[in-house]
Amino acid sequence: MAAFVDVIIPVPLQGLFTYALPVGLQKQAQAGCRVVVPFGNKRSTTGIIVRLHDNPPTDPTVNVKDIMEIVDEEPCILPSQLSLWQWIADYYVCSIGEVFKAAVPAKLRKQAKASIPDKGKGNAKGQASSQNSYTLPLEGEQGYGVLPELSPAQSAALAAIKENWKAHPVCLLHGVTSSGKTEVYIHLIAEAIAQGKQVLYLLPEIVLTSQLTDRLQAVFGDRLGVYHSKFTDVQRSHVWQRQLSDKPFDIIVGVRSSVFLPFQRLGLVIVDEEHEVNFKQQEPAPRYNARNVALIMASRFKALTLLGTATPSFESYYLARTGKYGLVELNERYGQVQLPRIEIVDVKELRRKRLMNGAFSQRLIEEIRLALDTHQQVILFQNRRGYAPQVQCHVCGWVPTCPRCDVPMTMHARSGMMTCHYCGYTVPVPNQCPACENKDLRQHGFGTERVEEDIRKLFPEARIARMDLDTTTTRQAYEQIIHDFANGETDILVGTQMVTKGLDFENVSVVGILSADTMLNQPDFRAYERSFQMMAQVAGRAGRRARQGTVILQTMNKELPLIAQVVANDYGAAYHDQMLERRQFAYPPFTRLVVVYVKHRQLSTVEALAREVTVSLRQLLGTRVLGPDEPPVGRVHNLYIRRIMLKLENRLPISSIKEQLSNLRNQLLAQKPYASATIFFDVDPL
Stretch that binds ligand ADP, among 72-80, 97-105, 123-131, 173-181 (CB under 6 A): 173-181
* Dihedral in degrees, nearest 10, Cα atoms 415, 420, 426, 429: -60
Find the shortest distance in angstroms from Cβ 375 to ligand ADP: 19
Burial of 166 (0-12, 13-18, 19+ CB in 10 A): exposed
Q: How far apart are CA 133 and CA 607, in angstroms?
A: 51
| Cross-strand pairs, 7 | 17, 49
Range 422-441, binding Zn ion (CB under 5 A): 422-423, 425, 433, 435-436, 438
User: Binding of Zn ion at residue 188 (CB under 5 A)?
Assistant: no
Find the shortest distance in angstroms from Cβ 64 to ligand ADP: 55
Find the shortest distance in angstroms from Cβ 150 to ligand ADP: 5
Find the shortest distance in angstroms from Cβ 135 to ligand ADP: 21
User: Binding of ligand ADP at residue 178 (CB under 6 A)?
Assistant: yes
Q: How far apart are CA 184 and CA 304, in angstroms?
A: 15
Range 376-415, binding ligand ADP (CB under 6 A): none
- 616 within 8 A of 664, measured Cβ to Cβ: yes
Stretch that binds Zn ion, among 214-222, 304-312, 412-420, 644-652 (CB under 5 A): 412-420
Amino acid, res. 279: F
Residue 148 binds which entry of ligand ADP, Zn ion, none, CB below 5-8 Å type-dependent: ligand ADP
User: Binding of ligand ADP at residue 340 (CB under 6 A)?
Assistant: no
Residue 338 DSSP symbol: P
Stretch that binds ligand ADP, among 144-152, 356-364, 404-412, 526-534 (CB under 6 A): 144-152
- Closer CB to Zn ion, residue 110 or residue 404? 404
User: Binding of Zn ion at residue 406 (CB under 5 A)?
Assistant: no
Q: Which of 75, 225, 502, 685 binds ligand ADP (CB under 6 A)?
A: 502
Using only C-alpha atoms, the chain has a radius of gyration, in whole angstroms, of 27
Residue 492 DSSP symbol: E
Range 148-167, binding ligand ADP (CB under 6 A): 148-151, 154
- 310 within 8 A of 174, measured Cβ to Cβ: yes
> Residues touching ligand ADP: how many (CB under 6 A)?
17
Find the shortest distance in angstroms from Cβ 644 to Zn ion: 23
Find the shortest distance in angstroms from Cβ 420 to Zn ion: 3
| Three-class DSSP category at 191 | helix
Fill in the per-residue mask, 22 to 51: x = in contact with ligand ADP (CB under 6 A), - = not in contact: ------------------------------
Amino acid, res. 136: L
Find the shortest distance in angstroms from Cβ 185 to ligand ADP: 8
- Closer CB to ligand ADP, residue 38 or residue 148? 148
User: Binding of ligand ADP at residue 549 (CB under 6 A)?
Assistant: no
Q: Which of 98, 504, 612, 682 binds ligand ADP (CB under 6 A)?
A: 504
Residue 334 binds which entry of ligand ADP, Zn ion, none, CB below 5-8 Å type-dependent: ligand ADP
Stretch that binds Zn ion, among 89-97, 126-134, 398-406, 471-479 (CB under 5 A): 398-406
Residue 204 binds which entry of ligand ADP, Zn ion, none, CB below 5-8 Å type-dependent: none
Q: How far apart are CA 466 and CA 472, in angstroms?
A: 9
Distance from chain centroid for Cα 678: 24
User: Binding of ligand ADP at residue 201 (CB under 6 A)?
Assistant: no
CB atoms within 10 A of CB 560: 16
Residue 180 binds which entry of Zn ion, ligand ADP, none, CB below 5-8 Å type-dependent: ligand ADP
- Closer CB to ligand ADP, residue 186 or residue 391? 186
Q: How far apart are CA 598 and CA 640, in angstroms?
A: 8
Question: In angstroms, what CA-CA distances link 184 with 181, 187, 294?
Answer: 5, 5, 20
Residue 398 binds which entry of ligand ADP, Zn ion, none, CB below 5-8 Å type-dependent: Zn ion
Residue 433 binds which entry of Zn ion, ligand ADP, none, CB below 5-8 Å type-dependent: Zn ion
From the list 306, 223, 224, the residue with the least C-alpha distance to 272 is 306
Q: Which CB contacts under 8 angstroms, 24+ apart, belong to 432-439?
A: 433/393, 433/395, 433/396, 433/398, 434/398, 435/393, 435/396, 435/398, 436/393, 436/395, 436/396, 436/398, 438/393, 438/394, 438/395, 438/396
User: Binding of ligand ADP at residue 175 (CB under 6 A)?
Assistant: yes
Residue 124 binds which entry of Zn ion, ligand ADP, none, CB below 5-8 Å type-dependent: none
Q: How far apart are CA 163 and CA 158, in angstroms?
A: 9
Q: For helices 123-131 and 233-244, what crossing angle results, to 10°?
A: 140
Q: How far apart are CA 503 and CA 485, in angstroms?
A: 11
Backbone angles phi, psi at 616, to 5 degrees: -65, -40
Residue 475 binds which entry of Zn ion, ligand ADP, none, CB below 5-8 Å type-dependent: none
Q: Which of 46, 127, 164, 182 binds ligand ADP (CB under 6 A)?
A: 182
- Closer CB to ligand ADP, residue 127 or residue 182? 182
- Closer CB to ligand ADP, residue 546 or residue 603? 546
User: Binding of Zn ion at residue 404 (CB under 5 A)?
Assistant: yes
- 628 within 8 A of 611, measured Cβ to Cβ: yes
- 192 within 8 A of 268, measured Cβ to Cβ: yes
Q: Which of 334, 485, 528, 575 binds ligand ADP (CB under 6 A)?
A: 334
Going by their DSSP bridges, the two strands 426-428 and 417-419 should be labelled as antiparallel
User: Binding of ligand ADP at residue 181 (CB under 6 A)?
Assistant: yes
Q: How far apart are CA 404 and CA 520, in angstroms?
A: 27
User: Binding of ligand ADP at residue 276 (CB under 6 A)?
Assistant: no
Task: Write a three-state SS string for 298-325.
Answer: HHHHCCEEEEEECCCCHHHHHHHHCCCC
User: Binding of ligand ADP at residue 177 (CB under 6 A)?
Assistant: yes
Find the shortest distance in angstroms from Cβ 334 to ligand ADP: 4
Q: In what order do the strands lie in the sheet with 426-428?
A: 410-412, 417-419, 426-428
Find the shortest distance in angstroms from Cβ 181 to ligand ADP: 4
Residue ranges that bind Zn ion, judged by CB under 5 A:
393, 395-396, 398, 402, 404-405, 420, 422-423, 425, 433, 435-436, 438
Residue ranges that bind ligand ADP, judged by CB under 6 A:
148-151, 154, 175, 177-183, 334, 502, 504, 544
